[in-house]
Structure 1
Amino acid sequence: MSFDRPDVQSLRLALVTSLRSNWKLFLVEGIILVLLGVAAIVVPPIATLTVAFFIGWILLFSGIAGLFTTFSTRPMPGFWWSLLSAVLGIGAGLYLLFSPAEGAISLTVVLVAFFIIEGIASIMFALEHRDELPGSWLMMLLSGIVDLVLGALIFLGLPSSAAWAIGLLVGINMIFGGFALIAMALQARNIDVRP
């Protein structure tokens, strides 16, 4: 059996041409992301509540879709588990929509758990691979320590840290993503599209 393999060179040319012709859109998107990221850092409580609302809507709609699917496939095994999952999604979504401040605290606790687990994993990875990675294991160790410190600072600051932690981190993420898009756009405008 033979499969037609796409011509890699023509795919690359199509991608490069698309990047080159749309570089201004990428630049605008990057600038918007940077501005929104700065706004999220300057006013982190608003960004935190926005994230809580967004996750609330996602959970609500996924719960409603799950409920519809559950009742559409009622004779299938696992009906009660599917029903429970859908109802939990709806309940969690409504909770975040009607109590976003309290929901932000819950989301912040999850964030703290992530930082602690990530920090421990990074430290253990660094210690296990210090012989194989003599030049970079210290950076991995430092990264793990920073994760643990961030997790501890956010945890010790609860419940007031819930107002700024998520918004600040979302803002930082948006700024880095925006600058990455800006850099890509500026490089894409100078791409030579000749085959």
Structure 2
Amino acid sequence: MNDRTQGSSLFQDALDFAKANWWMFLLGGLLYIIFGVLALSRPAAALLGLSVLFACFILVDGFISAIRALMAKGADGRWWVFFGGLVSVLIGIYALTGPVTAMLLFVTVIAFQAIFFGVAVFMFGVSIRKVVRSEWLLYLAGILSVVFGLLLIWAPGIGGLSVSMMIGAWALVIGILRVLFAFRVRSLVRHAV
């Protein structure tokens, strides 16, 4: 089988899957739209929901890391992984004890990620400045990311609401695109019959 035949069979398989399951794309798109509308109309509630999910993720991830470290008998560094997992479990439990704590934890993690990303992008621009002419775009992206992270630390409530609204807008756009895709695939099914 040559590459062209294999590529077309993969395309046909994907198309067949999309046709048979167009309703999944529609349902997923509707759920995205509902979440997006709710997040945009009630950003504090959306932020709370995302924060609680994030705290649950930290708790489960820490628990799994601790268990895996205990099961890896004789492995170098397993106690560091166990300790890190235990700390994550404690942070997750603490965050779940109060909604404000969960929101502050969520926003703080986003803030530090933005700062780290900004510094890394800025330094990448410095390292390639002799080869690339538009490295100023990397400097600008890095500086804006650091400023965004610092603003989140300075005003976590306002920053958290803006993050919630950005996520809501993203979910709304993705939901609309998924619904449009579902109807497009459904029309292919109708024309094939």
State how far apart, in whole Å, the 1-side matches of 2:31 and 2:78 are. Answer: 45
- The amino acid across from 2:40 in the alignment is I
1:29 deviates by: 1.5
Matched, 1:11 2:15: no
State how far apart, in whole Å, the 2-side matches of 1:54 and 1:37 are. Answer: 16
2:21 — aligned with what? 22
**Cα gap change, 1:109/1:69 in structure 2, threshold over 3 Å: closer, same or farther?**
closer
Deviates more, 1:161-170 or 1:100-109: 161-170
**Cα gap change, 1:58/1:11 in structure 2, threshold over 3 Å: closer, same or farther?**
same
State how far apart, in whole Å, the 2-side matches of 1:16 and 1:190 are. Answer: 13
1:97 deviates by: 1.1
1:76 — aligned with what? 75
2:177 — aligned with what? 180
1:116 deviates by: 5.0
Percent identical pairs in the alignment equals: 20
TM-score, normalised with respect to structure 2? 0.73
State how far apart, in whole Å, the 1-side matches of 2:142 and 2:19 are. Answer: 39
1:14 deviates by: 1.6
Give the superposed CA RMSD.
Answer: 3.6
State how far apart, in whole Å, the 2-side matches of 1:107 and 1:177 are. Answer: 23
Deviates more, 1:37-46 or 1:103-112: 103-112
- The amino acid across from 1:96 in the alignment is A
Gaps of 5+ in 2: none
State how far apart, in whole Å, the 2-side matches of 1:19 and 1:36 are. Answer: 23
**Cα gap change, 1:71/1:46 in structure 2, threshold over 3 Å: closer, same or farther?**
same
**Cα gap change, 1:141/1:20 in structure 2, threshold over 3 Å: closer, same or farther?**
farther
1:186 deviates by: 2.6
Matched, 1:60 2:54: no
- The amino acid across from 1:184 in the alignment is F
Gaps of 5+ in 1: none
How many residue pairs end up in the alignment? Answer: 186
- The amino acid across from 2:68 in the alignment is T
- The amino acid across from 1:157 in the alignment is A
**Cα gap change, 1:117/1:179 in structure 2, threshold over 3 Å: closer, same or farther?**
farther
1:34 — aligned with what? 33
- The amino acid across from 2:23 in the alignment is K
Q: Counterparts in 2 of 1:1-195, with a 5 A limit?
A: 7-116=6-115, 121=121, 150-151=148-149, 154-158=152-156, 160-161=157-158, 164-191=161-188
1:92 deviates by: 1.8
TM-score, normalised with respect to structure 1? 0.72
Three-state SS of the structure 1 residue aligned to 2:32 is helix
1:11 deviates by: 2.0
Three-state SS of the structure 1 residue aligned to 2:74 is coil
Larger helix percent: 2
1:30 deviates by: 0.7
Three-state SS of the structure 2 residue aligned to 1:7 is helix
